[in-house]
Structure 1
C-alpha cells in the first residue's frame, strides 16, 4: 500500500473548503482541549469526532472524497495534542509558586518549538512505524473504519454507528447524568488505584490491541502494584511512599529504555536510509523535504535558546532526546492508543536537571517542548495509519498536520493566557478550579528522580528487552499507569479472546454445513468460481465482512462513541466556563 500512497496525487486531497473547515474546527477543538486538560485532567482523542464532522460538512458542499475528509479532520484535530502538551506541563510553574511570570511569548516559544520538532520527527519515522511495522494504532484504525463505514452503509454502517451510539449514551449517563459510576469494584489498597474504570473507550483499546501486548501491560501492572508496592511494603522493605517513587522511576526507565532500544535496534542500522522516509517521491522531493526539515529543527533550536533561555549544549540534548521520545510516543500510541506525553517530557526534564540545569522554570519549558512534540507525534502517526488504510497521500496529511498544529499552537497559548489572566496562577493545582493533574505530577518530580537506581535498572532492562523482541514499552506502561487502567484494558483483551473463539466455532460450524450442502453440478460450481474470483461485481453479491472485521468495526464504534461524547462535554464545559 505504501507505493499506492506515494503515487496518490496529494493536491486533489487538500481543498480550500477542507482547509477552511479544518481551521475553524481546529480553533474550537483546541480551545476545548485546553480547558478539558486543565479542568478534568483528561484529553479524549478527538479523531473520530473530527472524522465524522469533516465528512458531513464536506458532503454538504458536494465533496465526497474520503481522503479529503481525512486531511480535513487532521487539520481539525492536530491542535488538541499541542494543547495537551502545554496544559500537562506549564501550570506546574504556577503550582510551585516560583514567582516567575510566564509570558505568552514564552508559552508560544514552547508550543512552536515542540510543534516544529514533532513534525520533523514524524516525517523521519513515518515509514518505519506505519508501513513497515505491525503496530495496531487503534485510534487511527478506528478513524479509517468510521470513514469507510460511511460509504459502505448496510450492516457495516449499522454496526459501527450503532455501537458508537450505545457507547456515547453510556458515557452521557456516566459523565452528565451521573447515574452510572465512573469506577467499579474499587478496593482500598494503600498506594494502589485498584478498580475497573468504567470506560468503553479503554475496553475497546484492550480489544483492538489484544494478545501478548496487553499481557505484558498487565505483567507490568502486577510487578508495580502487587509486587513492589503491596509486596515490598508488606515485607518491610520500604513504605508506600517510597514504593510509589520506585514504581514511577522504574516505569519511566523502562519506557525510556524502550525508546533507546528502538534507536539502537531499528534506527541506527538504517540511518543511511533515513531519506527513504520522504513524504515526497523522487530525488528532488527528498532534497526539498530534507531542507525544510532542517529549517524546522534550526527554528526550534533558536526558539529554545533565545526565547526560553536554554543553554546551547542543553538545547542540543533536548533536540536529540525529543527524537528519542517521539519514537517512544509513536510506539506507545501504536500499541495502546495511549500517549503519556507529560511522562516523556518529565524524563527529558530530569535528564537536563541531572546535567546541571537548576532553574525550575526552564526545566518546565523543556518538559513542555518535549510533551508538545510527543503529543503531536502520537496524533500524526495515528493519522498516518488512517491514511495508510485509506490511501491518503502522506504529503497531504503532513501538510494538514502542519497547518492544524501551528494554528493550534497559537490558539492554545491564547486560551492558556486568557485563563491565567482571568483566574490567576493560584487557580491551578489539586483541589483548585483547574486541577491540572498531569502538571501537578511534573511539579512534584521536578526536584529529581525519586529512585535513581530503579530508573537505571528500568533504562537498561527496557533497552535489552526491546532488542530481544519483548515489548518493554508495554511493560513500562503497565508499571507507570494507574492499575485501574491496566485492569480495564485487560478486560477488553479478555473480551477479544472470547469473541475470537466464539467466532472461530461459528466459522467451523458454517464450513461444515457448507461442505455437506456443496452443489454437485458444474454450472453451480462455475458460478461460485466467478464469484470467488471477483467476476461478479454486483453490490448485492459483495463479500460479507469476516467476524474479525466485524469485531474491529464494533470496537471502533465503541471507542468513537466515548471520544465524541468527551469532546461534546468539553465544548459544553468551555461554553459554561466562559458564561460563568
Structure 2
C-alpha cells in the first residue's frame, strides 16, 4: 500500500476538537476496558471504534480532514493501552500490600510509564514501521477505515464499495456477537479428553473478530501461532497431565496443568523469543536512532523534511525520559517507606531506575514488533510482563538476599510489582503507538503530532483508572486477595504476575518449566533461520516461522489461537484467488476492508456489551437459561461458518461488479 505524501498546505490535524473528542473517548474506553479486562482477562483495541466515531461526529465540520480523524483515533487508542495496567496493579491488592488504589500514586504510575513508552517508541518508528515489512494488521485496518470514510463523499465507486463492504462486515460481526450475548450461540466451543495416560483439549472462540485478525496477519504468522498451540496442547499438556495422579476430572486436570505448568513453559518461550527478537532488531533500531539524529541536523540547518518524517526531536525524547526519572524515584521512595527496601534504598533505587530504563527499552522494541506481527489486540503483552517481573524479582532477591519473614517478603514482592508497573506502562504504550504510527504513515499524518496526541491520551486514561479500580475493588474485589468473595473478578494476568514474584522471592518458582520453554523456542529459532536461508535462495519467496509467533501460540489459550489461524488460512486463500483477477490489488484490498469492518463491528459491540454488563450485571441480554448449552454450541459453529461464507461470497461478487 502506498504512503500518502501530503504537501501540508491548509491541513487541519492537531486541532482542539480532535483533542477534546479523543480525550472524551479515552475516558469512556478506558473505563470499559478496565472492567472487561479484569472480568475476562482480555482488553479490546479502541483505535478502530474511535476512528469510526470520530468520522461520524466530525463529518459535520466542512474543514475536517482525514489526518484530523487520525489524531482522534490515535489519542483514543491509548485507552486500550493504559487500561492494560490492570494486568499488574491489582497484584498489589492481591498480595495484601494495598487495600485500595491511592489516586495520585496510581495515576502518576500509569502516566509516567505510558509517557516513557511513547518516548522509547519514537526511534522504533523508522526501524519497525518505515523500514519493515511487518503486516501491522490493525494499523492497516485503521488506515482503510480513515481512507474510506474520508473519500466516501467524493463519488468514487470504489470508495462507495469500500464503505459498503466495511459496513456489511461490521453488521455480520454484530449479528454474531449479538447471538452470543443472547446466549443463543455459545461464546466458545470446547472439549477436553483423555490422551493415553494424560489429557488435553480443543477450544474455539466463536468470534468473527479473531478470524478477521487472522486474515490480516498473514499465513506465516498464522502457522507460527498454530505450531505454538500444537506444541502446548498436542505435546506438553498430554505429557504434563500424565504425571498427575489419576482421579482428577479431565476438565479440572487440563485447566490446572495449563495454568500452573504449560503457561509457564510458554512464558519461558516468550522470554527467549523476546531476547532473540531484540538482538535481531539492534541494527534497524540503530538505523532509526541515526535517522532521528539526521532529521534533527537537517532541521537545524534549515532543510526541508517531509511531513511524514517529522518525529519528536531527539532532545525532547531524551529530555522527557530524564525528567520522568525524578518523579519515578520519588514514587519508589514513597512506596518503599517503612519496609525492608527503605533500609538500603540508594542501591535499590539505582537498580530500579536502571531496570525501568533498560528493560523498558527492551520491551518497547519487543512489544512493538509483536504489534506489527499479530496486532495490538492479539499481542500478549502479559507475556512480556512475565519476563519483566522475573527480572525485577531476581534483582530484588539479589539486593536483599537471605530468608525473610512473611511481612518482609510481602513488602519485597510488592516493591517488585510496583517497579514492574512502570515497565508495563512502557510496553503497553509502545505496543499501541507503533500500530498508530503505521496508520499515520499510510494516511500521511505527522508523526510528532501523533506522538504528542498519545501522551495526551495517556494522561486522560491515567486519570480515570484509579476511581474505576477502587469502585471494582470495593464492590466485587479480585480473586486471590484477602477476603475475596465468590463474585470476585478473576484478573488472571495480575494473579499470574504476582504469583511469579512470590515464587521467585519465596523460593518456589518452577525454573525448570521456564528453562524448558527457552529450550523449545531455541529449536524453533534454528528452524526459522534455516527457513530464512531457503527463502533468500528462492528470491524472497517461502514461509517463515517467527519465533515470537510460536511462543505466543504456546502461551495464549487455544480458544484464541484456533480462530486466528483459521482466519490466516482464509486470508491466504482469498489473496491467492485475487491474483487471478484483472485488478489483484483491488481484490486483495476488498478482503482487507471486509476484515476491517468485521473487527470494527466486533469492537463496537464489545464496548457496548461491556458497558451493559457494568450497569446491569452479568449476562444482561440472555434469553435462554441452563440446558441450552449444547444447542448453543451447534448454533454458534453453524452461524459463524455461514456468516464468514456470506461475508467473503458477497464481497467477491460485489467487487467483481466495480468498474
TM-score category of the 2 structures, normalised to the smaller one: 0.7 to 0.9
Partner of 1:130, secondary structure, is: helix
Do structure 1's residue 453 and structure 2's residue 491 form an aligned pair? no
Partner of 1:186, secondary structure, is: strand
Partner of 1:179, secondary structure, is: coil
Quote the offset at 1:178 in angstroms.
1.6
Aligned to 1:540: none
> 2 CA distance for matches of 1:499 and 1:210?
11
> 2 CA distance for matches of 1:291 and 1:373?
19
Q: Deviations over 1:262-318 (max 9, x none)?
A: 332232575375141479665457997222222322233333332034622132022
Q: Deviations over 1:112-166 (max 9, x none)?
A: 2311221111112011111111111111111111122222442221111111111
Query: Cα 1:430–1:247, aligned 2, differ >3 Å: closer, same or farther?
Result: farther
**Partner of residue 326 from structure 1, selected from 364, 367, 371:** 364
Quote the offset at 1:390 in angstroms.
0.8
Quote the offset at 1:492 in angstroms.
1.0
Aligned to 2:163: 157
Question: How many corresponding residue pairs?
Answer: 542
Answer whether contact 1:301 1:316 (CA < 8 A) is retained: no
**Scaled by the length of structure 1, what TM-score is found?**
0.84
> 2 CA distance for matches of 1:143 and 1:422?
36
Partner of 2:123, secondary structure, is: helix
Query: Cα 1:264–1:121, aligned 2, differ >3 Å: closer, same or farther?
Result: same
Partner of 1:64, secondary structure, is: coil
Do structure 1's residue 79 and structure 2's residue 154 form an aligned pair? no
Q: Deviations over 1:404-440 (max 9, x none)?
A: 1122112212322344355567896795342222212
Aligned to 1:523: none
Query: Cα 1:7–1:304, aligned 2, differ >3 Å: closer, same or farther?
Result: farther
> 1 CA distance for matches of 2:201 and 2:357?
35
Partner of 1:12, secondary structure, is: coil
Answer whether contact 1:254 1:459 (CA < 8 A) is retained: yes
Quote the offset at 1:100 in angstroms.
6.0
Answer whether contact 1:256 1:462 (CA < 8 A) is retained: no
Query: Cα 1:244–1:566, aligned 2, differ >3 Å: closer, same or farther?
Result: closer
Answer whether contact 1:10 1:393 (CA < 8 A) is retained: no
Partner of 2:445, secondary structure, is: coil
Q: Unaligned 5+ residue runs, structure 1?
A: 512-542
Quote the offset at 1:46 in angstroms.
1.3
Query: Cα 1:335–1:181, aligned 2, differ >3 Å: closer, same or farther?
Result: same
Aligned to 1:262: 277
Aligned to 1:145: 144
Query: Cα 1:430–1:370, aligned 2, differ >3 Å: closer, same or farther?
Result: farther
Query: Cα 1:569–1:101, aligned 2, differ >3 Å: closer, same or farther?
Result: closer
Aligned to 2:353: 315
Partner of 1:311, secondary structure, is: helix
**Partner of residue 472 from structure 1, selected from 534, 547, 569:** 547
**Scaled by the length of structure 2, what TM-score is found?**
0.75
Q: Unaligned 5+ residue runs, structure 2?
A: 153-158, 247-252, 301-309, 334-347, 398-408, 533-544, 621-659
Partner of 2:25, secondary structure, is: helix
Quote the offset at 1:55 in angstroms.
1.1
Answer whether contact 1:8 1:392 (CA < 8 A) is retained: no
Aligned to 1:420: 473
User: Counterparts in 2 of 1:357-372, with a 5 A limit?
Assistant: 357=397, 359-372=412-425
Partner of 1:308, secondary structure, is: helix
Aligned to 2:238: 230
Answer whether contact 1:246 1:454 (CA < 8 A) is retained: no
Query: Cα 1:300–1:544, aligned 2, differ >3 Å: closer, same or farther?
Result: same
Do structure 1's residue 174 and structure 2's residue 180 form an aligned pair? yes
- What is the aligned-residue RMSD (CA, Å)? 3.3
Q: Deviations over 1:343-370 (max 9, x none)?
A: 2122111112112345111122133222
User: Counterparts in 2 of 1:343-382, with a 5 A limit?
Assistant: 343-357=383-397, 359-382=412-435
Answer whether contact 2:476 2:485 (CA < 8 A) is retained: no
Answer whether contact 1:29 1:80 (CA < 8 A) is retained: yes
